Structure 1
Amino acid sequence: MGRGAQSLARVAVTVRAGAAPLWWLGVLAAGTGLLLPGLTGRRIGVPAGAVLFLVTAAAVALVRRRRYTRLADCATRAGRHDVLQDRRVTMKVVRRSRRWWLLLAFLAAVASSLVLPAAGGALLAGAGAGLWLKAVWLGRRERTEETLLWMRTDWLAGGAVGKPVKGFCTTGIAAGDAAPGGARRRS
Structure 2
Amino acid sequence: MGRGAQSLARVAVTVRAGAAPLWWLGVLAAGTGILVPGLTGRRIGVIAGAAVFLVTFAVVTLARRRRYTRLADCATRAGRHDVLQDRRVTLRLRRRAHRWWLLLAFLAAVGTSFVVPVAGGALLAGAGAGLWAKALWIGRRERADETLLWLRTDWMAKGPVGKRVKGFRTTGIAAGDAAPGGARRRS
Tell me which interval the TM-score lies in, with the shorter structure as reference length: over 0.9
Distance 1:57 1:20 in 2: 14
Matches within 5 A, 1:27-42: 27-42=27-42
Aligned equivalent of 2:156: 156
Q: CA RMSD in A?
A: 0.7
Distance 2:57 2:147 in 1: 26
- CA offsets 1:18-42 (integer angstroms, 9 cap, x no match): 0000000000000000000000000
Aligned equivalent of 1:76: 76
Matches within 5 A, 1:31-70: 31-70=31-70
The answer on 1:87 being equivalent to 2:87 is yes
Distance 1:29 1:142 in 2: 34
With the length of structure 2 as denominator, give the TM-score of the two structures.
Answer: 0.98
Gaps of 5+ in 1: none
Aligned equivalent of 1:99: 99
Percent identity over paired residues: 83
The answer on 1:125 being equivalent to 2:125 is yes
Distance 1:73 1:16 in 2: 21
Aligned equivalent of 1:22: 22
Aligned equivalent of 2:12: 12
- CA shift for structure 1 position 140: 0.1
What letter corresponds to residue 52 of structure 2 in structure 1?
L
- CA offsets 1:26-60 (integer angstroms, 9 cap, x no match): 00000000000000000100010001001100100
- CA shift for structure 1 position 156: 1.6
Give every structure 1 segment of 4 or more consecutive aligned residues whose post-TM-superposition deviation is greater than 6 Å: none
- CA shift for structure 1 position 176: 0.1
- CA shift for structure 1 position 123: 0.5
Distance 1:27 1:162 in 2: 28
Distance 2:186 2:62 in 1: 28
